[in-house]
Amino acid sequence: MADLFADPSAAEKVARPLADRLRPRSLAEVSGQDHLTGADGILTRMIASGSLGSMIFWGPPGTGKTTVARLLAGETDLAFEQISAIFSGVADLKKVFEAARSRRMGGRQTLLFVDEIHRFNRAQQDSFLPVMEDGTIVLVGATTENPSFELNAALLSRARVLTFKSHDEDSLNRLLERAEENEGRELPLDEGARQTLLRMADGDGRSALTLAEEVWRAAREGETFDTATLVSVVQRRAPVYDKGQDGHYNLISALHKSVRGSDPDAALYYLCRMFDAGEDPLFIGRRLVRMASEDIGLADPQALVIANAAKDAYDYLGSPEGELALAQACVYLASAPKSNAVYTAFKQAMRVAREHGSLLPPKHILNAPTKLMKGEGYGEGYLYDHDQPDAFSGQDYFPEALGRQNFYDPPERGFERDIRKRLEFWARLRRERGR
């Protein structure tokens, strides 16, 4: 196998894309992933320990997942094998596993990098389990999709998920500076055009370097591109966002806080700013759904219904007709009563669930489909609420070791005013019945 990190010849420099020529040669050169590859990064610590476990790299394109996998193999003296789930099947996996077994018999372990691992089906994912368990391979899978939804629980239980972050502007700018140093020339861009190129890359390091290469190819001797010329040359729409004050994340934050602050006029303004900038309306629709759950909740249960319907309406109609549905939802959410009581309760319940582990629910609310379970007391003493006065038994449903908890505290606003009255009524019945 050729040395992945050998200094390329002049011919190779011409043939290979800039992004490939600038691949880091050590973890220290990796940009934008300090939480993984920095001095105190997780992967740096793994290498220092002399042992690697199987991992899933989760993150957007162009963040260095493939490069980091190659570097890990090089810095731990593991044989590097790479396959793509798009082009590989069971037969290909068997060949890779057999080769890895042969290496292992010779005293060398294999790091198998699987790109787009989420595209393997359940049976294909299961085929990795025995070779992971017996140490034949160290699996490093890369995915742009949420592993919790796309990968088998059995596979996830044997691999650590590491999150790769999109490049921020500083990280992308460092990549461009490395490119300029490598090429021995500066990008022929004025400051505004350079900032536009960074925003066009949208957190993707490979995209930033590809754009830079396009600029160098197109520029004439002594020419410097402004934003308009850059857009014309690379044929990509320039973001309308004002980087200095309200870029992509600033505008969505402004929209969210305007909705939370019950200001429909400001919310509409920022919504239109984002439409005008060319933002993906479905991204905005998803954020409106989030706002309905986080900031309105059960103060107005219709908020989530309307936000989700608006998202679906845009998905059905497209632009420009569907944008009106999103505007309608935006105004409704901003005008609705606000409550984060469910959001707060959810976070508290999640914390308690994590802290106390797998406590068994009380036996009286467990089903007893077998004689053995009945003999163990499962289901014994359960009171069917519909047969009780006020259709309320007042039994305790928390694990005995945990005791009753109180997470949800609805405010005296909107529909939650009625919910609060119900909860207070049930609490009074519980006290009266000694439960």
Predicted confidence (pLDDT) per residue in 138-154, tens digit: 999 999 888 888 899 99
Task: Report the share of the chain in percent with pLDDT over 90.
Answer: 59
pLDDT of 14 strictly over 70: no
Closest to 23 in 3D by CA, of 61, 70, 67, 62: 67
What mean pLDDT is predicted for residues 413-421?
Answer: 93
Cα torsion for 167, 170, 176, 178, to the nearest 10°? -100
CA-based end-to-end distance of the chain: 72
Question: Per-domain residue ranges for the chain?
Answer: 10-163, 185-234, 248-335, 359-432
In tens, the pLDDT along 265-298 reads 999 999 998 888 778 899 999 999 999 999 999 9
Please give the pLDDT value at position 371: 84
CA angle 272, 274, 280 (to 5 degrees): 120
Task: Give the fold, CATH level 3, of 359-432.
Answer: post-AAA+ oligomerization domain-like (1.10.3710)
Does the pLDDT value for residue 233 go beyond 50?
A: yes
Residue 240 above 60 pLDDT?
no
Where residue 256 falls among pLDDT bands split at 50, 70, 90?
very high
- Which of the pair, 260 or 245, is modelled with greater confidence? 260
Pick among 3.90.1200.10, 3.30.930.10, 3.40.50.300, 3.30.1490.110: CATH of 10-163: 3.40.50.300
Q: Which long-range contacts (CB under 8 A, 24 or more apart) does 83-91 make?
A: 83/112, 83/113, 83/114, 83/115, 84/114, 84/115, 84/116, 85/114, 85/115, 85/116, 85/117, 85/118, 85/119, 85/120, 85/124, 86/115, 86/116, 86/119, 89/124, 90/123, 90/124, 90/127
Structure tokens at 159: 């691999």
3-state secondary structure the chain: CCCCCCCCCHHHHHHCCHHHHCCCCCHHHCCCCHHHHCCCCHHHHHHHHCCCCCEEEECCCCCCHHHHHHHHHHHHCCEEEEEECCCCCHHHHHHHHHHHHHHHHCCCCEEEEEECHHHCCHHHHHCHHHHHHCCCEEEEEEECCCHHHHCCHHHHHCCEEEECCCCCHHHHHHHHHHHHHHHCCCCCECHHHHHHHHHHHCCCHHHHHHHHHHHHHHCCCCCCECHHHHHHHHCCCCCCCECCCECHHHHHHHHHHHHHCCCHHHHHHHHHHHHHCCCCHHHHHHHHHHHHHHHHHHHCCHHHHHHHHHHHHHHHHCCCHHHHHHHHHHHHHHHCCCCCHHHHHHHHHHHHHHHHCCCCCCHHHCCCCCHHHHHCCCCCCCCCHHHCHHHCCCCCCCCCCCCCCCCCCCCCCCCHHHHHHHHHHHHHHHHHCCC
Class of domain 248-335: mainly alpha
- Tell me how far apart the alpha carbons of residues 21 and 319 are, in angstroms, rounded to a whole number: 40
Q: How far is CA 218 from the centre of its chain?
A: 36
pLDDT of 380 higher than 70 = yes
What is the model's pLDDT at position 246? 45
